[in-house]
Amino acid sequence: MSKARLILFGALLAAPALAQFNGATLPQHGGISFPSGALDAEVVLPKSGSGFQVFFRAPNGEELPASSASGVSLAVNHGAGPAEKIALSIDDSGEAWQGKSTSAQPGSQPITGAHLIWNFRGAAQDTEIPFAAVCHAEMENTPRAVKAGEAEQLGFYIRDFLGRPVKTLQIEHEKPMHLMIVSRDLADFWHIHPQPSPSGLFRVGHTFPNGGHYRLYVDYTLVNGPNRIESFDLDVAGPAKPPVRLTVTKNEAVMSGIRMVLTTNKPLRAMEDITFSMAVTDAASGAPVTNLQPYLGAWAHIAVISEDTQEFLHVHPIEEQGQLSAAAAKPGLPTPSTIRTATGFRHAGLYKMWVQVQRNGVVTAHPFVFQVAAAATQVSQGARPPAGATLVKVSSGGFEPATIQAKAGQPLKLAFYRPDAANCAREVVFPGIGIRKELPVGQTVVVDITPSKTGPLAFECGMKMLKGTLIVK
């Protein structure tokens, strides 16, 4: 199976703490910035038990004193229960409204949304807060500097909108969390797995061989929720080695006796679906390698990072029908000697790829560096759903929305829109009713459905990794 995951830093696709929404002025305090009535608002989420802060700005970006608004509060929806109202007050600086939730205890219902409620010049304002139902990662503050050559413990919390730790994550490829670490020059790469503790802290040990700047990518999936990838910067104290200049490599790499040769089905261009094939042979004999071992529930794990580290993809192979399950059921069967995966890129530039495979109990990461050219044609910048259709955006984060309400016996028109190729959703499939539609990049594809019976009706991408559900009543 193939699964593509991407993170872009900046607006919308970054962690909620960096998000801008629908053209609002950029966040100035590390929060979520969005239009709210006559002004723009920025909500700073609580971290490590701290409270909320709300700042107001004019649409031109001018910071306004907190007293520009009055009666500011947050209404937080907990599942099917009543909304919790969090009253805020002006802080000592006079720049922000602040307050804390009273329902931060573990075990509360998951958050399904939140609203910012306030008054401006006598007019009531009520705006839904973007991303309120989305969790965010927080790196644990260490009491001392991380030093090269010393065993360190890296820790991460996943927190909801109220700052509560999320203690249970979906198990994906045998682990609740995948952590990819790279040096700034992309010369060093690690793929490790933090494990949960009773407090909700996910921790893993790691030793950095050299000092310098590193970027950490945290890949996790919420239970019955979306996949997220968030990044963190880390400076490691100690002697740093000279940076390695990133240059395009040959299309083959040899690691631990395995030669891997990379080919693609078309020239590498942004905004196009591309199939990558990696032929695996024995470096000494040249014979095809047919004794790979599954690694974390796949024949390979593949990470791709842009030269500026602003784009990250985590993809997996396209599994030939039943190969992985057959190998698990009957060890000794020949394994595939060619690994294939499918993905794409938002932007032109230089990228580095690591293909991790396992043989004889040893995991190796085969590196490739390649250049992606600019898109050949201009791709549509917006969806064009017909009247009455429900728009479903398809991205590396999955289907948005992933849960859609429907009624038995009533026609439903779904308009799927895939803005870029940086995901594995080349098509959408409704396996229960035999519908399969291709999803070309930049095009709006309409699927007409009339559910015949009540209950959940699943849909998924062609690789069975991105999933959604129609709730038919």
Question: Mean pLDDT across the chain, nearest whole number?
Answer: 86
- What's the rounded mean pLDDT across residues 62-71? 94
> Would the pLDDT of 108 be above 60?
no
- What's the rounded mean pLDDT across residues 228-245? 93
- According to the model, what pLDDT value does residue 3 have? 38
> Would the pLDDT of 59 be above 90?
no
For the segment 309-343, what is each residue's pLDDT rounded down to a tens digit? Answer: 989 988 888 876 567 777 766 777 888 899 999 88
> What residues are paired with 61 via a beta bridge?
none
Q: Contact at 8 Å (CB) between 296 and 192? A: no
- What's the rounded mean pLDDT across residues 50-67? 90
Using CA atoms, how far residue 31 sits from 19, 69, 413, in Å, is 7, 18, 35
For the segment 2-13, what is each residue's pLDDT rounded down to a tens digit? Answer: 333 333 322 222
For the segment 366-412, what is each residue's pLDDT rounded down to a tens digit? Answer: 999 999 999 887 766 577 888 889 999 888 777 888 778 899 999 99
pTM, entire model: 0.79
- According to the model, what pLDDT value does residue 33 have? 84
> Would the pLDDT of 456 be above 70?
yes
For the segment 182-222, what is each residue's pLDDT rounded down to a tens digit? Answer: 999 999 999 999 999 999 999 999 999 999 999 999 999 88
- According to the model, what pLDDT value does residue 361 have? 94
